């Protein structure tokens, strides 16, 4: 899929590499937003400690535990409950964009998993995140659902895709929507193109905020 894509076996053979595992937990749902827009699927992402959106997970040491056991351990810390991840939930492994090519010890390989669970389990995960997870308020600043619908005025998936994501999390999300048939390809494509426009408008808003802050500081 990505340039730098590896099989799980090839990735594990890279002994000097660091490994990170992340998972997209999702479910089907019949619920509708405002009784009108089908929500279709509930997908969980999180606001990370570094201010970026990403999937739950973290670093795993494959010399000490399997990738999947390590990911389950990370999930226990971040979402506060036991969600067993299996080898068959693995989607892909690839070199993380931006990792230094100069020394093998700084190579980071990211392993991505997708796991479908029941709607009641998704809700249980959301509750456990704030009620029992040790990482709440530390590595995790909050769990959010991904809106897959597009409202009349353009709200929904497009603005969501224009946020700032860690590493290749945005592509992992988009690719999973396609790969697991969670959204029609043309709908996804349209939302992604629209998100570029939202992103451009957002730059103007950000510049205005900076200008207004500078004006205020001069008043002091």
Work out which of 69, 77, 163, 180 binds a second copy, going by CB under 8 A: 163
Work out which of 116, 151, 180, 187 binds a second copy, going by CB under 8 A: 151
Judged by CB under 8 A, how many residues of this single chain contact a second copy?
71
CA distance 120 to 122: 5
Sign of torsion, CA 165 161 184 38? positive
Is 59 a binding residue for a second copy by CB under 8 A? The answer is no
Classify 184 as helix, strand or coil: coil
What residues between 6 and 35 interact with a second copy by CB under 8 A?
A: 31, 33-34
CA dist list (Å): 117 to 84, 97, 121, 123, 197: 11, 29, 6, 10, 34
Of 54 and 70, the one with the shorter C-beta distance to a second copy is 54
What residues between 33 and 52 interact with a second copy by CB under 8 A?
A: 33-34, 39, 42, 47, 49-52
Is 84 a binding residue for a second copy by CB under 8 A? The answer is no
What residues between 176 and 215 interact with a second copy by CB under 8 A?
A: 178, 185, 188-189, 192-193, 195-196, 198-200, 202-203, 205-210, 212-214
Instruction: Decide: 97 and 168 in contact? Cβ < 8 Å.
Output: yes
Work out which of 6, 161, 182, 183 binds a second copy, going by CB under 8 A: 161
To a second copy, the closest distance from the beta carbon of 150 in angstroms equals 9
Work out which of 6, 174, 182, 183 binds a second copy, going by CB under 8 A: 174
Contact stretch for a second copy (CB under 8 A) within 18-26, 57-65, 84-92, 132-140 = 132-140
CA distance 163 to 167: 13
Instruction: Decide: 153 and 188 in contact? Cβ < 8 Å.
Output: no
CA distance 70 to 75: 9
To a second copy, the closest distance from the beta carbon of 162 in angstroms equals 5
Is 158 a binding residue for a second copy by CB under 8 A? The answer is yes
Q: Distance from CA of residue 40 to its chain's centroid?
A: 18
What residues between 97 and 116 interact with a second copy by CB under 8 A?
A: none
N-terminal to C-terminal alpha carbon distance within the chain: 54
CA distance 45 to 48: 9
């Amino acid at each position: 899929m990505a340039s730098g894509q590896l099989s799980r076996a090839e990735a594990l053979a890279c002994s000097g590499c660091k490994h990170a595992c992340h998972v997209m937990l999702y479910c089907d749902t019949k619920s509708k937003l405002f009784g009108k827009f089908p929500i279709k699927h509930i997908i969980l992402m999180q606001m990370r400690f570094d201010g970026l959106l990403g999937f739950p997970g973290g670093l795993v040491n494959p010399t000490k535990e399997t990738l999947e056991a390590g990911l389950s351990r990370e999930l226990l810390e971040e979402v506060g409950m036991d969600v067993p991840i299996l080898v068959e939930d693995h989607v892909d492994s690839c070199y993380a964009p931006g990792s230094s090519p100069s020394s093998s010890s700084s190579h980071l390989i990211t392993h991505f998993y997708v796991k479908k669970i029941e709607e009641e389990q998704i809700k249980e995960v959301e509750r456990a995140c704030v009620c029992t997870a040790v990482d709440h308020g530390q590595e995790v600043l909050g769990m959010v659902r991904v809106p897959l619908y597009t409202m009349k005025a353009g709200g929904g998936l497009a603005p969501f895709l224009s946020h700032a994501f860690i590493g290749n999390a945005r592509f992992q999300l988009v690719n999973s929507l396609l790969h697991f048939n969670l959204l029609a390809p043309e709908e996804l494509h349209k939302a992604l193109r629209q998100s570029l426009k939202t992103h451009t408008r957002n730059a103007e808003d950000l510049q205005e905020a900076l200008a207004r802050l500078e004006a205020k500081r001069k008043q002091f």
